[in-house]
Amino acid sequence: MKGKSALLAGVAAIALVASAQAGYAAKKTSDATSDTPAATSAVPAGPTNAELAARIQALEDALQADESKAQGEHSRLSTLEQNFNYATWTFDNGRPVINSGDGRFSMAFRVRFQEDFANFIQDSPTSIPNAQYKDLSSGAVTRRAFFGVEGKAFNDFWYEFRYNAGGTNGSSGGTNGVTATEGDSVMSIARVAYVGIPHFRLNVGVIEPAFMLEGTSSSGQLMFLERPEIENIAADTFGAGDSRRGIEVAFQYEGMILPGDNFVWTAAYTGAKTGASGAPNTNGSGIGHTNGGDEQSQFLSHLSYRFWSDGASNALVGGDFGTALYAGGGNYSLSFQDRPEIRVDGDRLIGATVGSATGQTAGCGTPTAGNISCHATMFSGHAAGNLDNFYLAGEYSYFRADRLNSAKVLDHPDFSGYMFEGSWVLTGEPKTYSANATNNEIGGYGSPKVASPFSLDGESWGALELAARYSFTNLDWNRSTAGTGIAGGREGIFDIGLNWYLNNEVKLQVHDSVVHVDKLNAAGGAVQIGQNLNIVGIRLQFTN
């Protein structure tokens, strides 16, 4: 604009000077052609230099004022545009998301709702007179009702807060002297993660650590109504699952060794859950299938390596390790137990307690031998892979615990379990693999993305998946030995079901589980209190 002002001022000056020179030339001509000087008419004099300078200055001032006005209008329009773009709304798979204009902040609103129905098909009570649970309660439960927000803050931090209005049905009964009454924690997740270092993530607060194969899949993307029984026992005993107070560090790197590979390693130190699982036993122990103790400290680690991928298909191997301190010089117990892969009825058909169960053990301390810190350890290994729309996976887990038995002798009961599962997406969509995530869904499998959502207006039916799984859990240890043996029971579950994904948010699952329970009334006992039964389970789910 300054250059343009100078140009216009120069043009004006030239015009004024030319005008003055023309007037002066006309005057000379008039003087030369007139007969006498007296007859010559007066010719007006041209503007002086001062007048020309004043006119030029006035032009420059006017041009400067126009330039200032234009700059003001531009600034005002820029401010309006910035204010308009400062916060934007988007919808990601039905999830409302607010983003700041500079991209440093975001907030997504999350909802997950699962309503479960179950029918327990058992023989008549007279046909199973010695069965421990003759009449399991069919019915319904709001398994999960999550409401929460998550997002980015200051570009390098990620936060998540999740409230749980759902839960699981409990029972006043239990196994091995352990009360089974239980309620899920209201504060499910409340964490802050630092993600400013490439390939690393640090989670602090109420977290859900990545642990075991299906523990890296969202509860909204499970193939079955529940994770395998052995996984649930391991997660609750060794400090995983949601609602855990703790800290977790994760490292993830794609293409670290081979093209297309993905390396994931996490480690977490956790304590108790945010909500009580029920009233403690008279010996001060934890209840249900959570471990109790003076500190209730757990250390756990997860490793996963995707060694092959072509985009749609993937193959991985992995393993997990965990250790739990469940007593520091007192009589505390550790419980290994869970429901038969459905949470409508609260009874655990099998369960083992290591610690201060009356008539079974004497805890981890004795006045004569001195107090010792008892702990439990576990490890597991898994492999999984999908080839387009076919999926197969397997996992094995082993637990070992320390205790002073009723004979005041230190021994080491151990337990184990495994599962095999597979699925076939009939409509052709492959299962998804999550290479990286800020939560526990890191290096794990999720639901297929629906190619054609269900609609009554056309021939689109969503996605259909046929799934099957066999899981086996052995909670017996020297069960033929009275006194020091543990008769926790053995349970095998074959689950086959159909999952109907109407779209990426709504899913309907119908599953039938054939359950076989082999359990003695006590270690060294001869009475069979197990049974065979069928469980028909249905889940309606919405998640965004």
Domain boundaries, the chain: 2-30+47-85, 89-543
Q: How far apart are CA 418 and CA 384, in angstroms?
A: 14
- Return d(Cα 291, Cα 403) in angstroms, integer: 14
Nearest-5° angle of CA 544, CA 229, CA 443? 50
Average of per-residue pLDDT across 428-433: 96
DSSP state of 171: -
Checking if the pLDDT of 332 tops 70, the result is no
Q: What is the pLDDT of residue 230?
A: 96
Q: Which pLDDT score, from 0 to 100, does residue 457 have?
A: 85
Select from 269, 325, 275 the least CA-distant residue to 295. 325
Spatial contact of 179 and 422, defined as CB atoms under 8 Å apart: no
What does the buried/exposed string (b/e) look like for 446-485 if buried means 16 or more CB atoms within 10 Å of the residue's CB? bbbebeebeeeeeeebbbbbebbbbbbbbbbbbbeeeebb
Confidence check: pLDDT of 44 > 80: no
- Closest to 137 in 3D by CA, of 123, 119, 115: 119
pLDDT, residue 173, reads 44
* Six token digits for residue 259: 């093209």
**Least confident interval from 122-136, 330-344, 360-374, 492-506:** 360-374
Model pLDDT, residue 166 = 87
Separation CA 461–CA 498 (nearest Å): 14
The answer on pLDDT for 359 being more than 70 is: no
Give the model's pLDDT for residue 433.
97
Q: What is the pLDDT of residue 250?
A: 98
Q: With a cut of 50, say whether residue 372 has pLDDT above it.
A: no
Does the pLDDT of residue 31 top 60, yes or no? Answer: no
In whole angstroms, give the CA distance from residue 396 to residue 445. Answer: 18
CA-CA distances (angstroms) from residue 379 to 1, 168, 235, 365, 524? 74, 27, 12, 26, 29
For residue 480, pLDDT over 50 is answered with yes
Query: Who wins on pLDDT, 291 or 89?
Result: 89
Give the model's confidence band at 112: pLDDT under 50 very low, under 70 low, under 90 confident, else very high.
Answer: very high
> What percent of the chain lies above the pLDDT cut of 70?
78
Instruction: State CA 37 to chain mean position distance.
Output: 107
Please, which pLDDT band fits residue 58 given cuts at 50, 70 and 90? Answer: confident
Quick check: 285 pLDDT over 90?
no
pLDDT at 364: 55
What is the third-level CATH fold of 89-543?
Porin (2.40.160)
Q: Quick check: 195 pLDDT over 80?
A: yes
Query: Strands (DSSP E) along 122-172, which ranges?
Result: 139-153, 157-164
Share of the chain above pLDDT 90, in %: 61
Q: What is the mean pLDDT of residues 504-514?
A: 97
Q: How many CA atoms lie within 13 A of 180 on its CB side?
A: 22
Q: How many CB atoms sit inside 10 A of residue 91's CB? A: 10
Tally DSSP H helices, then E strands, for the chain: 3, 28
pLDDT band at 114 (very low <50, low <70, confident <90, very high): very high
pLDDT of 103 > 90? The answer is no
How far, in Å, CA of 487 to CA of 359, rounded? 13
Q: Rounded to whole angstroms, what are the CA distances from 319 to 305, 367, 378, 384?
A: 9, 39, 11, 12
Give 1 or 395, the one with higher predicted confidence.
395
Question: How far is 193 from 205, CA to CA, in rounded Å?
Answer: 9
Task: Look at residue 81 in the predicted model and tell me its pLDDT.
Answer: 64
Of 278-282, 285-289, 300-304, 403-407, the range with the highest mean pLDDT is 300-304
- The answer to whether residues 168 and 184 touch, using CB atoms and an 8 Å cutoff, is yes
CA distance 342 to 168: 9
pLDDT of residue 411: 84
- Report the chain's mean pLDDT, rounded to a whole number: 83
Distances (CA, A) of 120 to 136, 289, 345, 346, 533: 6, 22, 9, 12, 7
Name the least confident of 2-11, 223-232, 329-338, 532-541: 2-11
d(CA 336, CA 350) in angstroms, rounded, equals 9
DSSP 8-state code for residue 257: S
Whether the pLDDT of residue 539 is over 80: the answer is yes
116 touches 342 (CB < 8 A): yes
Per-residue pLDDT, 370:
39
- The number of angstroms, rounded, from the C-alpha of 422 to the middle of its chain's C-alpha atoms is 23
Residue 469: what residue type?
A: R
The answer on pLDDT for 519 being more than 70 is yes
Lowest mean per-residue pLDDT among 85-94, 265-274, 406-415: 85-94
* Res 145 pLDDT > 90: yes
